[in-house]
């Protein structure tokens, strides 16, 4: 073997060694970031009280997440548990509030998000859906395996260029700003039912280096659209994570007060009260018919005035 050949071989081995070192470093960094996300999620979104008999070892905690093996539901696999944690953490960072309210154990995060009283969906960096909770699947009338893996542009009418352009602009703005609040836009289910999402939050998900990994949406109210495009029923998500028709409660608002009518009745009450006093000054008593008639009118006027002033 010549000296040049030996030198090239040594250089190659050194290059491969450096590559292996970098790969191990990246792998270690990813594991550390994942563990940090778990700890942060546990602090911000979950109770710190462990289950009976649970230990504090990090490996045991990780093993508990996604337990159930092949029997786990699609939304409760280890991958989806970590995705639920990512959704919760990214939402907290973008908005300053929790994605799932209440005390949620880390190992219950995926189940809690799936059954949450709002719709939540996300897509990856290629705009392909990688998550949809129960309310989202119901709304788009799709099963998990059909929704996850679908291009997000199919969530809206693909033939409607204006809607598609608006959707694209929304995602671009969310990527630029990090989060968009109070979003409203028209979407369509797999069966062609159109609805308008209202008061939605759209946010961008990032990895530990700040690179975009996807985007997500959260909302709990839609307006079903009629075939002619007019508004139909309003639907909201109930506490069990299902869509129901909203029933408006009576507002209880008082009717507008007529100030002129109040002034008129006040003057009439004063006048009738003066009339009753004059009758009694003339020697009549409450037993006399004239006094009885005047008092009856006075009481009726006072009742009308009271009804108006109570609503003032």
The pTM (predicted TM-score) of the whole model is 0.60
Instruction: Examine the pLDDT at 44 and tell me if it is beyond 70.
Output: no
pLDDT at position 261? 81
| DSSP at 155 | G
Instruction: Examine the pLDDT at 89 and tell me if it is beyond 60.
Output: yes
For residue 205, what are the β-bridge partners? 214
Give the HSE-up count for residue 68: Cα atoms under 13 Å, Cβ half-sphere.
15
Q: Of the candidates 108, 104, 57, which has an alpha carbon nearest to the alpha carbon of residue 80?
A: 108
Q: Over the stretch 272-283, which tens digit does the pLDDT of each residue have?
A: 888 888 888 888
Kindly state the percentage of the chain with pLDDT values over 70. Answer: 74
Q: Is 231 helix (H, G, I), strand (E, B) or coil?
A: strand
Q: Over the stretch 178-210, which tens digit does the pLDDT of each residue have?
A: 999 999 999 999 999 999 999 999 999 998 888
Contact present, 165 and 186 (Cβ < 8 Å): no
Q: Which of 10-24, 81-95, 285-299 has the lowest mean pLDDT?
A: 10-24
pLDDT at position 310? 60
Q: Which of 43-47, 50-54, 151-155, 261-265 has the lowest mean pLDDT?
A: 50-54
pLDDT at position 4? 58
Once rounded to an integer, what is the mean pLDDT over residues 212-229? Answer: 95
Kindly state the percentage of the chain with pLDDT values over 90. Answer: 47
Once rounded to an integer, what is the mean pLDDT over residues 131-155? Answer: 97
pLDDT at position 48? 33
pLDDT at position 58? 38
């Amino acid at each position: 073997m010549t000296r040049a050949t030996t030198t090239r071989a040594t250089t190659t081995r050194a290059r491969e060694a450096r590559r292996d070192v970098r790969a191990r470093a990246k792998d270690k960094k990813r594991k550390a970031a994942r563990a940090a996300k778990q700890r942060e999620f546990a602090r911000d979104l979950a109770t710190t009280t462990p289950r009976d008999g649970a230990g504090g070892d990090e490996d045991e905690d990780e093993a508990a997440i996604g337990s159930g093996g092949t029997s786990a539901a699609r939304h409760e696999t280890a991958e989806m548990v970590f995705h639920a944690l990512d959704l919760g953490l990214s939402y907290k960072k973008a908005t300053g509030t929790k994605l799932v309210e209440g005390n949620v154990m880390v190992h219950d995060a995926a189940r809690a998000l799936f059954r949450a009283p709002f719709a939540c969906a996300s897509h990856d960096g290629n705009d392909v859906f990688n998550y949809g909770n129960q309310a989202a699947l119901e709304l788009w009338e799709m099963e998990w395996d059909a929704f996850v893996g679908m291009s997000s542009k199919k969530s809206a009418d693909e033939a409607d260029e204006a809607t598609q352009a608006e959707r694209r602009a929304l995602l671009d703005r969310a990527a630029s700003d990090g989060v968009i609040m109070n979003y409203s836009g028209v979407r369509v289910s797999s069966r062609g039912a159109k609805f308008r999402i209202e008061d939605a939050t759209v946010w961008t998900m990032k990895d530990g280096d700040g690179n975009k990994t996807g985007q997500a949406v959260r909302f709990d109210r839609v307006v079903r659209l009629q075939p002619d495009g007019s508004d139909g029923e309003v639907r909201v998500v109930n506490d069990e994570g299902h869509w129901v028709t909203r029933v408006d409660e009576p507002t209880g608002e008082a009717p507008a007060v007529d100030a002129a009518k109040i002034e008129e009745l006040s003057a009439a009450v004063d006048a009738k009260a003066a009339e009753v006093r004059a009758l009694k000054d003339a020697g009549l008593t409450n037993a006399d018919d004239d006094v009885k008639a005047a008092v009856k009118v006075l009481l009726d006027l006072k009742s009308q005035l009271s009804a108006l002033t109570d609503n003032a």
